[in-house]
Structure 1
């Protein structure tokens, strides 16, 4: 399984793969912290309608997670991997960045 990921992601070593996994987990945890702060700031209440709650959640978590991937990736020396990862994701949403 890890060999396949290394080939797909063009990763050289097991250490680099471990760092990438670490970045994904740190970004996820960081995005949840950001969500908590934002929800506190906007006075979120569980009484909000589901659709408003879901929309607020998605609009908070998705950008926070993407930003955290870049930040933690850069801090741990994997900026190029995560920048390529982000560009691929953005292309799926129809957004093209100039290289």
Structure 2
């Protein structure tokens, strides 16, 4: 855990715990919202092959995840950490222009 704390620039175990909680909430919430959007559009496992269903679900989750990460991180008081983390994530997806300073 010390290597992770050092890599992320975290000072306490409590902060690390909060960050793990934010990641857990964000992952579940982004999948839930994406699933809701697909249901709203009438896309489900019954009318799509499973491959296309999960492909569309992943395509919806990928851009939603970093933005929700910032919002949930802000709620838990970890905005600076998650803003930088999301910025790196979007840059790796080729969307670095979104947070260009």
Aligned Cα root-mean-square deviation (Å):
1.6
Q: Which runs of 5+ in 2 are unaligned?
A: none
Given the two structures, how large is their TM-score scaled by the length of structure 2? Answer: 0.84
Corresponding residue for 2:52? 52
Kindly indicate whether residue 45 of structure 2 is the aligned counterpart of residue 78 of structure 1: no
- How many angstroms apart in 2 are the aligned matches of 1:35 and 1:78? 24
TM norm structure 1:
0.85
Unmatched segments (≥5 aa) in structure 1:
none
Q: Secondary structure at the match of 1:11?
A: coil
Name which of structure 1's ranges 7-16 and 29-38 shifts more when overlaid on structure 2.
Answer: 29-38
1:82-97 matched pairs, under 5 angstroms: 82-96=82-96, 97=99
Per the alignment, residue 16 of structure 2 pairs with: 17
Counterpart Cα distance in 1 of 2:65 and 2:93? 16
In structure 1, the residue matched to 2:5 is: 6
1:31 corresponds in structure 2 to 30
SS at match of 1:65: helix
Which deviations, in whole Å up to 9, do the C-alpha atoms of 1:21-68 show, x marking residues without a partner?
A: 010001011112202311210112323134532331112212232222
